[in-house]
Structure 1
Amino acid sequence: MMNTVTTDYEKTDIGNIQIAPEVIEIIAGLAAVEIQGVAGMSAGFVGGIAELLGRKNLSKGVKVNVGQREASVDVSVIIEFGVRIPELAGEVQRNVKRAIESMTGLHVVEVNVHIHDVHFKGTEKVEEEDITLRVK
Structure 2
Amino acid sequence: MSQLLRQGFIAALAPQGVPNLDIVVSDIGGQRQFGIQVKSRLEKGADGGWHMGAKHEAIESDQLFYCFVDFGLSETGAAKTYIIPSRVVARVLRDSHSAWLARPGKNGHVRKDSNVRRLTPDYTYAYAPDSPVYATGWLDPYLEAWHLLQA
Q: Same fold (TM over 0.5)?
A: no
Structure 1 length normalisation: TM-score?
A: 0.30
Structure with greater Cα Rg = 1
Ranked by relative contact order (alpha carbons within 8 Å, sequence separation 6 or more), the top structure is 1
Structure 2 length normalisation: TM-score?
A: 0.28
